[in-house]
Amino acid sequence: MANIFEVPQPGNDLVKKADQVRLASIKISQTENQNRIKALNFMADYLEKNSKEILEANNEDYISAEKKGTTKALLSRLKLSKEKLNSGIEGVRKVGDLADPVNQVQIKREISKGLIIERKTVPIGVLGVIFESRPDAVMQISSLAIRSGNGVILKGGSEANLTNTAIVKALQQGLGKSGLDENAICLLTSRKDSMSMLNLEKYINLIIPRGSNELVKFIQNNTRIPVLGHADGICHLFIDNEANLEMALSVALDSKIQYPAACNAIETLLIHKDIAPVFLERAIPLFNSKDVKLIGDKRSVELGIKYEASLEDWQTEYLDLILSIKIVDDLDEAIIHIQKYSSKHTDGIITENSNNANKFMNIVDSAGVFHNCSTRFADGFRYGFGAEVGISTQTLPPRGPVGLEGLVTYKYFLKGDGNIVDDFSNGKAIYTHKDIENI
Amino acid sequence: MANIFEVPQPGNDLVKKADQVRLASIKISQTENQNRIKALNFMADYLEKNSKEILEANNEDYISAEKKGTTKALLSRLKLSKEKLNSGIEGVRKVGDLADPVNQVQIKREISKGLIIERKTVPIGVLGVIFESRPDAVMQISSLAIRSGNGVILKGGSEANLTNTAIVKALQQGLGKSGLDENAICLLTSRKDSMSMLNLEKYINLIIPRGSNELVKFIQNNTRIPVLGHADGICHLFIDNEANLEMALSVALDSKIQYPAACNAIETLLIHKDIAPVFLERAIPLFNSKDVKLIGDKRSVELGIKYEASLEDWQTEYLDLILSIKIVDDLDEAIIHIQKYSSKHTDGIITENSNNANKFMNIVDSAGVFHNCSTRFADGFRYGFGAEVGISTQTLPPRGPVGLEGLVTYKYFLKGDGNIVDDFSNGKAIYTHKDIENI
């Protein structure tokens, strides 16, 4: 927050572009479900039609990045294979299959005779999406934005500029073909614009950052616009003394190694002191065989863990095959450790004792609290949301994996026949507050 | 946001207090509905028992404030009559009658065989409430906080310190009598603490400011904690050319004068040029008879409005018997004016043409969009929420008048029998995503 003045003010060009997106977003917010589905199908069609052009653009980006000595990890995220593109296109169509998040009636109530209130979901307005590399994110985020009736301003990593430009061109052609305003999707390609976006609070209603922890933290600290997402994902798994040993080993391993770079992988394993000797006897060779580096507190070092943990280990999201281990006296100590170090993303317990499980799940204040399953399930697709815009670790909703519902808000529609409040103070009218069925 | 460094860091005493509230809030978050209702009844009982002490404390506060030359308006808000206290006590009991906002199952779904996800509402944690004068707010906010299973840290105006202390003592006695932790309600009495609260982001999950626009703006700009509320309430009413003239006059008058100091009173009346002459011919003497000062644009001055408006008038929340008037060419111009100047609180249209009404309601992006009724209905009680913690003008939920649902969030509870994600990549398990009925 202190750094807000590092962010440049938007130039006239950017403000003009943002205003065009805002106007287009108002138009798309008024469209019927069928129009938005049609638009998604045309967007997918044009991605197919232009696929040669898109892949060639990606190839150029790749060669330039390679020449610049870009890291292997970034190169692999940048690379858009024919398969990745096709699966992206299929993804765009699938977003069309998801239930319409807009115009859902949440409340319908007679307030007084002739005075009816409805609360209905409406699009948020304009989304600002900042992401690194991964050109597939352009297709995914744009389709979610259009599905939910929003406009979107995208800023990707400059190393993918040619690819992103080709993809957005196809998406805009699809929008235009379906009769919607092409300006509903806008791509920014200069780094300066990406930063000044953070000062566009009059035009952008929600920022969605997709990238490194550093990027997310910078954005959270440098904008007045609400940010949907999370920086750290420090997830814990607690092995209770009443855990099933085989289950504990299997879930711990899956939670760590199934995809260590994911935010829902665990960084710290907490183990009840009574089960620690038998658990570690089995776990150490198991994790070693999977090349996981184990770092433990004093007590676990005494039980065979090679490296001793420092305070920093409990605060670190390794995103790698590294796991910190702490032995605790009881469930309470495990909960206290989690309250102190968890990033409130997802924390789990393995136990056969349902009282312990309930206590853990009720007290631990994270978006996801898991019992006897892998933390890796913390994901919008796995929860059954069809698609996910991100995972939020803030306390207020939307919290946890956020599907389309995170891209809509609601407003109150009140219709009367001349009703005035003064009539209620002099007894001419009364409040009835009757919910109306068949919503 | 630039001013964040004006806020002092919390001292050790305050941190210790806040931690006690946090611990108490964890306990209360685990209580059953019946316990919280019981607590509210005991809180009301102790307010009754201690009413003599409370009224005496208020009398002392009042005398001191009078001596200091406090304004009449503030004195009248500070004064706690026996009637005001009784109605506050009745309010505490009524909050007990509201439906439990906690433990509501929003999603219950089988993800895969043996793996069940539930999304349930949970308390937010600790609320930080900053309010000016009005000792009745202590009773109202505390009872809403306890009803929703939250802890609360209160900071009132220093002129009401004795009253607030006496009220909080009674509330804590009630909590204790019911078996809940008295620390769930905490009162701060020094101004320094009130400011440093804004830096307690590790202990406070939501700030609720109740006071002047300046107070709210200061808080919004000086904390990383989410803030529920609004600063400005610049509401508009548009009189369409197809309006029923009698209705337009009656609703415009009610929207302005029924309680001009309220945030949902209108500040600006927009009038279609075709109806402006007949409307103003009737409206000017009507508003004059109620001592409303009318300030208009050039065109309305030509039609008899005495004072000419400046740019500032369209941006001002008068909170007084003053109304700015602008004549517009058509519905579109009215919408554009509202998009530019509305604080997104509540804006209304008067028309017999339902197409115009729908266009207005769909495009105007305010928390409340009203057709043929007074903007003064924008209120949690009138909407049928039973009680209101505030009105939010942000775009993301909670938006508009916020009842108890603004004081809860949700989390995801996932229960399995050893499920791991790896089994889904090798075909040993499949996602079923079946919603479970009877929730």
> Quick one: B214 exposed, middle or buried, by C-beta within 10 A (0-12, 13-18, 19+)?
exposed
Residues in chain B with CB shorter than 8 Å from the CB of A117 are 383-384
Q: Is the pLDDT of residue B133 over 90?
A: no
- What pLDDT does residue A328 have? 98
Look at residue B74 and tell me if it is in a domain.
Answer: yes
Instruction: Report the residue of A7, A351, A352, A411 to disrupt the B interface, i.e. the one with the largest count of B CBs within 10 Å.
Output: A411
**A289/A372 same-domain check:** yes
**Residues in CB range of A71: below 8 A, 6 or more apart:** none
Written as six digits, the tokens of B361 are 């309601």
Average pLDDT value over all residues in chain B: 94
Q: Do B396 and A409 touch (CB under 8 A)?
A: yes
A-B Cβ pairs (cutoff 8 Å, strict) = 217
Which band of pLDDT confidence, cut at 50, 70 and 90, is reported for residue B1?
very low
β-pair type (B235-239, B346-350): parallel
**A50/A199 same-domain check:** yes
**A47/A95 same-domain check:** yes
Domain final position from B188, B221, B254: B221
Residue B346: how many CA atoms within 13 Å on its side-chain side? Answer: 26
**B114/B208 same-domain check:** yes
Residues in chain A with CB shorter than 8 Å from the CB of B111 are 377, 382-384
Look at residue A389 and tell me if it is in a domain.
Answer: no
Q: What is the pLDDT of residues B218-233, one digit of tens each?
A: 898 888 899 998 878 8
ipTM: 0.93
Minimal Cα distance from A116: which residue of B?
B383
Q: Do B421 and A376 touch (CB under 8 A)?
A: yes
Residue with tokens 């939501």: B206
The phi and psi torsions of A186 (rounded to 5 degrees) equal -135, 135
- Interatomic CA distance for residues B290 and B287, integer angstroms: 5
Q: What is the pLDDT of residues B61-114, one digit of tens each?
A: 999 999 999 888 889 889 999 999 999 999 999 999 999 999 999 999 999 999
Identify the weakest region by mean pLDDT among A80-84, A203-207, B72-76.
Answer: B72-76
Query: Quick one: which of B337, B333, B152 has its CA closest to B228?
Result: B152
Residues in chain A with CB shorter than 8 Å from the CB of B250 are 418, 420
Residues in chain A with CB shorter than 8 Å from the CB of B384 are 109, 111, 117, 431, 433
**B197/B296 same-domain check:** no
Q: Do A416 and B125 touch (CB under 8 A)?
A: no
Q: What is the pLDDT of residues B394-438, one digit of tens each?
A: 999 999 999 999 999 999 999 999 999 999 998 999 999 999 985
Minimal Cα distance from A251: which residue of B?
B420
Q: Do B416 and A205 touch (CB under 8 A)?
A: no
Look at residue A355 and tell me if it is in a domain.
Answer: yes
- What pLDDT does residue A438 have? 58
Identify the weakest region by mean pLDDT among A135-149, A273-287, B213-227.
Answer: B213-227
Q: Is the pLDDT of residue A129 over 90?
A: yes
DSSP state of A154: E
Chain B nearest-CA distance from A57, in A, is 32
How many residues in total does chain B contain?
439
Q: Is the pLDDT of residue B4 over 50?
A: no
Chain A nearest-CA distance from B66, in A, is 32
Q: Do A396 and B357 touch (CB under 8 A)?
A: no
Q: Do B396 and A371 touch (CB under 8 A)?
A: no
Q: Do B416 and A384 touch (CB under 8 A)?
A: no
Identify the weakest region by mean pLDDT among A434-438, B203-207, B281-285, B306-310.
Answer: A434-438
Q: Residue B34 to residues B97, B168, B179, B262: CA-CA distances in angstroms?
A: 11, 22, 12, 35
- What pLDDT does residue B3 have? 43
Q: Do B367 and A421 touch (CB under 8 A)?
A: no
Strand order in the sheet with B151-155: B185-188, B151-155, B126-131, B206-210
**B350/B374 same-domain check:** yes
- What pLDDT does residue A1 have? 40
User: Beta-carbon neighbour count of residue A362 at 10 Å?
Assistant: 17
Q: Do A376 and B420 touch (CB under 8 A)?
A: yes
Residues in chain A with CB shorter than 8 Å from the CB of B412 are 367-369, 378, 383, 400-401
Q: Is the pLDDT of residue A147 over 80?
A: yes
Q: Is the pLDDT of residue A4 over 50?
A: no
Domain final position from A352, A382, A412: A382
Residues in chain B with CB shorter than 8 Å from the CB of A422 are 254, 258
**B245/B345 same-domain check:** yes
Pick B2's closest partner by Cβ from A4, A124, A362.
Answer: A4
Pick A373's closest partner by Cβ from B26, B115, B253.
Answer: B115
Residues in chain B with CB shorter than 8 Å from the CB of A362 are 29-30
Q: Do A414 and B258 touch (CB under 8 A)?
A: no
Query: Is the four-CA dihedral A327, A330, A332, A335 of positive or negative sign?
Result: positive
**A193/A146 same-domain check:** yes
Residue A231: how many CA atoms within 13 Å on its side-chain side? Answer: 12
- What pLDDT does residue B10 have? 92
Residues of chain B with pLDDT > 90: what percent? 85
Which residue range forms the structural domain that includes residue B27? 4-221
Q: Is the pLDDT of residue A332 over 70?
A: yes
Chain A nearest-CA distance from B325, in A, is 20
Domain final position from A366, A382, A398: A382
Q: Do B383 and A413 touch (CB under 8 A)?
A: no
- What pLDDT does residue A439 have? 47
- What pLDDT does residue B72 have? 87
**B214/B241 same-domain check:** no
Q: Residue B27 to residues A364, B36, B148, B350, B381: CA-CA distances in angstroms?
A: 12, 11, 13, 50, 30
Look at residue B336 and tell me if it is in a domain.
Answer: yes
Q: Is the pLDDT of residue A21 over 60?
A: yes
Look at residue A376 and tell me if it is in a domain.
Answer: yes
Chain B nearest-CA distance from A135, in A, is 24
- What pLDDT does residue A60 have? 97
- What pLDDT does residue B439 have? 47
- What pLDDT does residue A230 have? 82
Pick A125's closest partner by Cβ from B30, B395, B431.
Answer: B395
Taking residues A97-107, what's their average pLDDT? Answer: 95
Taking residues A219-224, what's their average pLDDT? Answer: 87
- Contact between A296 and A324 under an 8 Å Cβ cutoff? The reply is yes
Q: Do B376 and A420 touch (CB under 8 A)?
A: yes
- What pLDDT does residue B326 have? 98
Taking residues A356-361, what's their average pLDDT? Answer: 98
Q: Is the pLDDT of residue B171 over 50?
A: yes
Residues in chain B with CB shorter than 8 Å from the CB of A408 are none
Q: What is the pLDDT of residues A363-388, one digit of tens each?
A: 999 999 999 999 999 999 999 998 88
**B130/B176 same-domain check:** yes
Identify the weakest region by mean pLDDT among A132-141, A410-419, B106-115, B256-265.
Answer: A132-141
**A11/A103 same-domain check:** yes
Taking residues B277-283, what's their average pLDDT? Answer: 98
- Interatomic CA distance for residues A160 and A65, integer angstroms: 9
Look at residue A227 and tell me if it is in a domain.
Answer: no
Output the domain CATH number for residue A17. Answer: 3.40.605.10
Q: What is the pLDDT of residues A401-410, one digit of tens each?
A: 999 999 999 9
Q: What is the pLDDT of residues B8-40, one digit of tens each?
A: 889 999 999 999 999 999 999 999 999 999 999
The domain total for chain B is: 2
Output the domain CATH number for residue A261. Answer: 3.40.309.10
Q: Is the pLDDT of residue B2 over 50?
A: no
Taking residues A68-92, what's their average pLDDT? Answer: 92
User: Beta-carbon neighbour count of residue A43 at 10 Å?
Assistant: 30
Q: Is the pLDDT of residue B390 over 80?
A: yes
- ∠ CA B19-B24-B30, nearest 5°, is 135
Look at residue A410 and tell me if it is in a domain.
Answer: no
Look at residue B229 and tell me if it is in a domain.
Answer: no
Chain A nearest-CA distance from B342, in A, is 12
Q: Do B362 and A414 touch (CB under 8 A)?
A: no
- What pLDDT does residue B5 have? 47
Q: Do A383 and B412 touch (CB under 8 A)?
A: yes
**B198/B334 same-domain check:** no
